[in-house]
Amino acid sequence: MNPTLSELEAQATRKKAAFGGDAHIVCDNLVRIYKTEGVEVVALQGLDLVIDRGELVAVVGASGSGKSTLLNVLSGLDVPTAGVARVAGMDLLSMSARDRLRYRRSVVGFVWQQTARNLLPYLSARENVELPMRLAGSGRARRERAVELLELLGVGYCASRKILEMSGGEQQRVAIAVALANSPQLILADEPTGELDSETSEQVFDALRKANRELEVTVVIVTHDPLVSEQVDRTVGIRDGRTSSETLRRADAEGQIIAEEYAVLDRVGRLQLPRDFMSALAMERRVRLELESDHIGVWPAREEPSGD
C-alpha cells in the first residue's frame, strides 16, 4: 500500500543521522574562501572528512591543495566560510573569540614545522612544556607532568637544555611534549619532519605514535610527503580543495602490512580520478559510465563522428 501524504511528510521531517555521526572530527561540505585585493581564492571547495577518536591520520597534498587551510580551520586559527567543521562535538564556525581561545588552549595541540615557532629559546625544554600549563592556570604538578611527557617521548635527558643545545629531532619531540602539556584531545602537526633527515624523522613519528597510543590522543599530520603514509594507519589525499583519495594500511593473516588506495566518493557522488589514470587513457571533460552488477565501468568518451 502506498504511503499517505501525512506519512510522507513525517518521513521528510524525521531527523536524519548527521553526517559523520559522533566522529571526533567532521568536515561536511567545508568551504574556505580568501579575498585579497578584490580577488577570491577558493582554498577549500566543499571538502568532506571524517576522523574517529584515537586515529593516526596523515593528510597529504601538493602545495596549494588546501591541506594547510584545513589544518588552520581544525586548529581554530581560521574560520571557515561555509559548511560544517566540528571537533570533539564543538562547532568551529559558531565559536566566540573566547571559546576559540579556550579551544586552542585545552582541546587541540599544535606542532609547527619551524621549531622557532614551537619553543622559546630562553627557556629549557622542561620550562617550555610547563608554559602552556601556566597559561591555562594548571596546579602545582606542572613540573612532574613536564618531566613525564619528556620521558615518554624519549627526550627526558633534554629537560634542562635550551633550544641551541638540542638537535632538530630533539626539538621536535620537545615540541610534541609542549603540544601535549594541557592534555588535548587532538594533536595537529604541520610538516613536523619537513626539515629532518629520514632517521630523525622516524624518531619524531615514533613520538607521535606513542602520544596516539599511550595517551589516546587523535593525531592529524599534514604533509606533502607521500612516504608519510608508511608511518600512519590512514592517509587522506587532498586535491583542489577536496579530499580525493584514502590509503588504508592493515595487517593480513600473516602479519604483513597491506596498503590499499581508494578514491573518495563525496556526499553528492563526486570522485576525483587519479591524474595518472586520466592521462594514461586521455580522459578529458567527459567519460562514459556503465553500471555493472557489482561495479561501475569508466571509459574515455567515444570520438564523435565528423559531420563531413
Q: Is the dihedral of CA 126, 127, 132, 137 positive or negative?
A: positive
Question: Helices 125-135 and 168-180, interaxial angle, to 10°?
Answer: 20
Beta-carbon-side half-sphere exposure of residue 133 (alpha carbons within 13 Å): 22
pLDDT digits (tens, 9 = 90+) for 98-152: 999 889 988 999 998 887 788 999 999 999 999 999 888 776 688 899 999 999 9
Task: Compute the CA torsion angle 150, 154, 156, 160 (nearest 10 deg).
Answer: -90
For residues 296 and 263, what is the distance between their CA atoms, to the nearest angstrom? 13
Domains of the chain by start residue, with CATH? 53-81+95-263 (3.40.50.300)
Q: Is the dihedral of CA 269, 272, 277, 279 positive or negative?
A: positive
CA distances (Å), origin 244, targets 22, 114, 225:
23, 28, 16
Q: Under a CB-based contact definition with an 8 Å cutoff, are residues 182 and 109 in contact?
A: yes
Q: Would you state the pLDDT for residue 18?
A: 63
Average pLDDT score over the chain: 86
Q: Burial level of 121, CB count in 10 A (0-12/13-18/19+)?
A: exposed
Is pLDDT at 306 greater than 60 in this prediction? no
Q: Which residue has the cell 553526517?
A: 19
Q: Which of 206, 216, 136 is nearest to 176 (CA)?
A: 206
Q: Would you state the pLDDT for residue 248?
A: 87
Is pLDDT at 307 greater than 60 in this prediction? no
pLDDT average, residue stretch 167-189: 94
Q: Would you state the pLDDT for residue 17?
A: 52
Q: What is the pTM of this model?
A: 0.85
Q: What are the residue ranges of helices labelled H in the chain?
A: 5-13, 67-75, 97-106, 115-118, 125-135, 142-152, 168-180, 198-214, 275-280
252 sits in the region (left: phi over 0; alpha: psi -120 to 50; else beta) called beta
pLDDT digits (tens, 9 = 90+) for 209-267: 999 999 999 999 998 876 777 788 899 999 889 999 898 888 777 877 788 888 888 77
